[in-house]
Amino acid sequence: MPIKICPRRLHDYIDVDQQIKQADYPQLEKLKNQLAEQMGQPGWHYSGLPAIISVFCVVVSFAIPQLALWSIIFDLAAIPRHKVFVAITATALLFAGINAITLFLLSKGVISALKVLIGLTLVAAVGAIIYLLAAITDIPYPGVTFPGALICILFAVVSLMSLNSNAFWKMVSYCLHNRVWRKMMFLHISFDKTRKR
C-alpha cells in the first residue's frame, strides 16, 4: 500500500515544487491557498510528528541488524571481530545524521528531502526483511535473533504506515505552504526595495 500511494503523492508534490520555483507573486498566492486547503485544520501534523515518528522508526529498524551485518562483513574480510562496534557506531551516526538533515530540509519544504526520506525508509524495510529471513534460517552470527527480527519488521512497518498516513502528507503540505509564504515575503521585500530606488 505505501509503495502504491507514496509515488502518486510524491509526484503531486514534485509538481508543486516546480510551480513554486517558477511562480510569480499572484501564482504563489493561489498556490498558498491551495496548500492551505490540503493541510486542513491545525492538528498534530503541524508539529512534524508524523515525520519524526517515521524517522525514529527507520533509525531503530536500521540499527537492529547492524551487529549481524558487520559481523558477517568482518568475517568475510578477515578483520578481527572486536572492531565491529567501531563500524556499527560509525554507521549508526552516519545514518542518524542523514535522517536528521533530511528531516530538517523536509521541514523547510525541500522535496528532494522527501525523496531521500522515502528512500531511507525503503532501505530500512528491505534490510528488515533480509534480517528476518536470516533469523528464520538460523544464521549463526551474533545479533541474529527471531525476536530482534520481528521488532525490526515492526518498526519498519510503523515507519511505512507513518509515511502513508494522511497526517504525514498534510504535514508535507504545511511545509510547502510555509516555503511558499517565505518566497512571497522575499518577493515582497525585493519589490519594496526596487520601488524605493
Query: Is 17 part of any domain?
Result: no
Tell me: pLDDT of 156 over 90. Answer: yes
Q: Is 137 helix (H, G, I), strand (E, B) or coil?
A: coil
Q: What is the mean pLDDT of the chain?
A: 86
**Per-residue pLDDT band at 96 (split at 50, 70, 90):** very high
Query: Is 26 part of any domain?
Result: no
Tell me: pLDDT of 4 over 90. Answer: no
User: Using CA atoms, how far apart are residues 164 and 181, in angstroms rounded to an integer?
Assistant: 26
196 versus 34: the higher-pLDDT residue is 34
How high is the pLDDT of residue 44? 64
Closest listed residue to residue 59, CA positions, set 90, 98, 85: 98
Mean pLDDT, to the nearest integer, of 103-127? 92
Please measure the distance between the N-terminal and C-terminal CA atoms of the chain and give it in whole angstroms.
56
Query: Is 175 part of any domain?
Result: yes
Query: Is 28 part of any domain?
Result: no
Main-chain dihedrals φ then ψ at residue 47, nearest 5 degrees? -80, -10
139 versus 15: the higher-pLDDT residue is 15
**Per-residue pLDDT band at 164 (split at 50, 70, 90):** confident
Tell me: pLDDT of 94 over 60. Answer: yes
Mean pLDDT, to the nearest integer, of 37-48? 76
Domain assignment of residue 123, given as a range: 2-10+46-196
Residue entry with cell 486547503? 37
Mean pLDDT, to the nearest integer, of 12-39? 87
Query: Is 31 part of any domain?
Result: no
Domain total in the chain: 1
